[in-house]
Chains A and B, each alone.
Chain A
């Protein structure tokens, strides 16, 4: 046997003997073991993801609540007796006409 003689053809006999030498008939059991490990990993992976996001999630929720509370403290409550918007003024108008209100809204109270 020389290196040049080693073509694309296989040594079928040696290949079969090698496969047989390492064939312990346990491929199916091994595959079942890997499938079980996959299921365990998926389950643990899900919890890992949740655990990974738990702390940032809580921090984000706390930040939002804090921002809302601060915003409520800083924003003065509008006096509901003083209509400010054009719509409010139109709805509240009794004597002036709608066109006057719209005009004054556009040009200001000049």
Chain B
């Protein structure tokens, strides 16, 4: 439970020009914004650039935020759009992508800590999923969003959210199970 004013109050102050209030919103939502950007963009630096652009765009549009609605979906929708724009620009600039064979050439279980290894495998597995599945599993399981919120954000029905979540979880679980077997 975090203290201080709620997001709506901070957004109201920000709309009046209080940059410090918006700074508190940046502190609160930096983690989710970065993770959601990473669900769109493979490269962590690109993802951070997109998340930053998203925050700046949100600052410029803060007077259009409806404080009766939750702040996080409004912000993350902007971040996702920035990430998609950046990905389009990057695609035009370069056609190289992260090879999925990284999974096989990653650090051995003996050479890396468990958390780092699991993290590596999960990032690679997630990068191999379609964008919508990445977004759904990240928003639902990692960020705690409801099906309806995700559907609203991505413009898809609840049933599609559940279906995409099912496929994403199955793929990620298979990766994890493979890792457990490899280590046993």
> CB-nearest residue of chain A relative to B134?
A18
Q: Does B11 contact A (CB under 8 A)?
A: no
- B71 to chain A minimum Cβ distance, whole angstroms, is 15
| CB pair A30 B51 closer than 8 Å | yes
Q: Which chain B residues border A33 with CB–CB below 8 Å?
A: 48, 52
A residues near B, CB below 8 A? 1-3, 6, 8, 10-12, 14-15, 17-24, 27-28, 30-31, 33-35, 37-39, 41-42
Residue from B59, B119, B172 having most chain A Cβ neighbours under 10 A = B119
Instruction: Report the bound CA distance from A37 to B137 in whole Å.
Output: 31
Knowing A18-B137, A22-B38, say if A6 contacts B27 (CB, 8 Å).
no
Knowing A1-B169, A18-B141, say if A38 contacts B56 (CB, 8 Å).
yes
Instruction: Report the bound CA distance from A75 to B69 in whole Å.
Output: 62
> CB-nearest residue of chain A relative to B118?
A17
- B15 to chain A minimum Cβ distance, whole angstroms, is 14
Knowing A1-B169, A30-B30, A35-B23, say if A11 contacts B141 (CB, 8 Å).
yes
| CB pair A14 B172 closer than 8 Å | yes
Q: Which chain B residues border A35 with CB–CB below 8 Å?
A: 23, 26
B30 partner, pick from A6, A27, A42, beta carbons under 8 A: A27
- Inter-chain pairs besides A17-B118, A17-B122, 10 sampled, C-beta below 8 Å: A3-B162, A3-B166, A10-B140, A12-B141, A15-B141, A18-B138, A19-B35, A38-B55, A38-B56, A38-B59
- B176 to chain A minimum Cβ distance, whole angstroms, is 7
B 1-45 contacts with A by CB, 8 A:
19, 22-23, 26-27, 30-31, 34-35, 38, 44
Q: Which chain A residues border B126 with CB–CB below 8 Å?
A: 18, 21
Knowing A19-B35, A24-B44, A27-B34, say if A42 contacts B173 (CB, 8 Å).
no
Q: Does B144 contact A (CB under 8 A)?
A: yes
| CB pair B19 A39 closer than 8 Å | yes
- B101 to chain A minimum Cβ distance, whole angstroms, is 19
| CB pair B170 A1 closer than 8 Å | yes
Q: Does B142 contact A (CB under 8 A)?
A: yes
Sample of 18 A–B contacts (CB below 8 Å):
A2-B166, A14-B176, A15-B141, A21-B123, A22-B34, A22-B123, A23-B31, A30-B30, A30-B51, A30-B52, A31-B27, A33-B52, A34-B51, A34-B52, A34-B55, A38-B55, A38-B56, A39-B19
